[in-house]
């Protein structure tokens, strides 16, 4: 076979990653709902690191203050707080809901993923907390090893069969898959910039066709896989993707929170638009650590550095 023909066949056999075009994405107009969350006066709201909406429309915000998990009604009215004083709430990182309204909470410092039912009872725990009495006596020198344990995990996604996908982001830079009842199945990825690698996988979502989207934050890309970890495509962004959300319904889109802005993408990786600019006032963004999109026009953003949470209505 001629060399140039062989090269052509190889090129057509590989799915090339999406690359940023260098052209400015369309700007999406939006407005901020003023003073949306009615946080009690005696609550100090710290870094906003997680946000999720359950089937009732209730909004759950994870923050690193003395009241780590706050629940609000759809109109922003405060309902209750949760987790005060519990040792599993040391460094909240993300919160999600599955199709049965179970809440999945990730604590990065504790290396834990915790499943709560609708009554906020613990139903499943993945990983192990570092044991301080062992740590202080130098019985171990670093985090407990994978694959069953984690090293500062970041996010979760639940598949249609109940499979659990975890971005084990800071220390191990991998995706781990578990069965619905918590048995380890497989993992993929390690730290780096190459084809099979991540550098801080920070967020993960799954679409209605069971495709997984992983925010490979420090590599400025979103990587797409099937539920067995087979690579499908790569989207390069003009900024690091810190957080992902995916809308419900038949025509899904993804919002990717970044630094100073938010991207809107279709499921092929095309950037449909972006919005935001740097700053700490309402309508401005620093690090969009958490994002939730119950529909295509409503976006909730949690910002770590400015201790902000906002409800946005896109025009």
Task: Dihedral sign for Cα 132, 135, 136, 139, please.
Answer: positive
Q: Quick one: average pLDDT of 174-185? A: 97
Query: Which residue in the block uniquely carries the two structure tokens 């993923």?
Result: 113
> What burial class does residue 209 get, using C-beta atoms within 10 Å of its C-beta: 0-12 exposed, 13-18 middle, 19+ buried?
exposed
Peptide bond into 147 cis (omega under 30): yes
What is the Rg, in whole angstroms, of the alpha carbon atoms belonging to the chain?
20
Task: Dihedral sign for Cα 297, 300, 303, 306, please.
Answer: positive
Strand order in 30-32's β-sheet? 30-32, 308-314, 298-303, 288-295
Distances (CA, A) of 275 to 11, 74, 298: 35, 24, 13
pLDDT for residue 145 is more than 90:
no
Query: Which residue in the block uniquely carries the two structure tokens 């918590």?
Result: 182
pLDDT for residue 185 is more than 90:
yes
Percent of the chain with pLDDT over 70: 89
| pLDDT at residue 134, as a whole number | 58
pLDDT for residue 10 is more than 90:
no
User: What's the mean per-residue pLDDT of the chain?
Assistant: 91
What is the band of 14 on the pLDDT scale with cuts at 50, 70, 90?
A: very low
How far is Cα 117 from Cα 132, in angstroms, rounded to an integer? 28
Q: Which of 48-52, 99-103, 136-140, 237-241 has the lowest mean pLDDT?
A: 136-140
Q: Quick one: average pLDDT of 24-49? A: 95
Q: Quick one: average pLDDT of 35-45? A: 95
pLDDT top residue among 177 and 139: 177
pLDDT tens-digit map of 247-276: 999 999 999 999 999 999 999 999 999 999
| CB 143, CB 155: distance < 8 Å | no
| pLDDT at residue 2, as a whole number | 42
Q: Residue 265: which residues within 8 A CB-CB, separation 6 or more?
A: 222, 235, 253, 254, 255, 256, 271, 272
| Domains and their CATH numbers in the chain | 30-314 (2.120.10.30)
pLDDT tens-digit map of 76-126: 999 999 999 999 999 999 999 999 999 999 999 999 999 999 999 999 999
pLDDT for residue 64 is more than 50:
yes
């Amino acid at each position: 076979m001629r060399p140039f023909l062989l090269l052509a066949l190889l090129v057509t056999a590989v799915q090339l990653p999406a690359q940023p075009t260098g052209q400015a994405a369309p700007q999406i107009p939006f407005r901020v709902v003023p003073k949306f969350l009615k946080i009690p006066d005696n609550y100090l709201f710290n870094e906003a690191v997680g946000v999720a909406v359950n089937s009732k429309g209730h909004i759950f915000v994870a923050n690193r203050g003395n009241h780590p998990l706050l629940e609000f009604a759809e109109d922003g009215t405060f309902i209750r707080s949760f987790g005060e004083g519990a040792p599993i709430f040391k460094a909240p990182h993300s919160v999600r809901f599955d199709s049965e309204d179970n809440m999945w909470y990730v604590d990065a410092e504790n290396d834990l993923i915790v499943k709560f039912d609708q009554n906020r009872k613990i139903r499943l725990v993945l990983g192990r907390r570092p044991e301080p009495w062992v740590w202080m006596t130098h019985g171990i020198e670093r985090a407990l090893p994978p694959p069953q344990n984690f090293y500062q995990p970041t996010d979760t996604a639940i598949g249609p069969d109940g499979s659990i996908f975890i971005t084990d982001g800071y220390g191990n830079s991998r995706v781990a898959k578990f069965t619905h009842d918590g048995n380890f199945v497989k993992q993929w990825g390690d730290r780096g910039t190459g084809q099979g690698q991540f550098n801080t996988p920070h967020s993960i979502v799954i679409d209605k066709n069971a495709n997984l989207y992983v925010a490979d934050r420090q590599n400025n890309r979103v990587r797409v896989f099937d539920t067995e970890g087979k690579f499908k495509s790569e989207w390069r962004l003009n900024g690091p993707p810190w957080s992902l959300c995916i809308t419900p319904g038949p025509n899904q889109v993804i919002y990717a929170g970044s630094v100073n802005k938010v991207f809107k993408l279709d499921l092929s990786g095309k950037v449909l638009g972006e919005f935001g600019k740097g700053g700490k006032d309402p309508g401005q963004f620093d690090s969009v650590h958490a994002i939730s999109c119950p529909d295509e026009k409503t976006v909730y953003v949690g910002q770590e550095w400015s201790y902000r949470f906002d409800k946005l209505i896109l025009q």
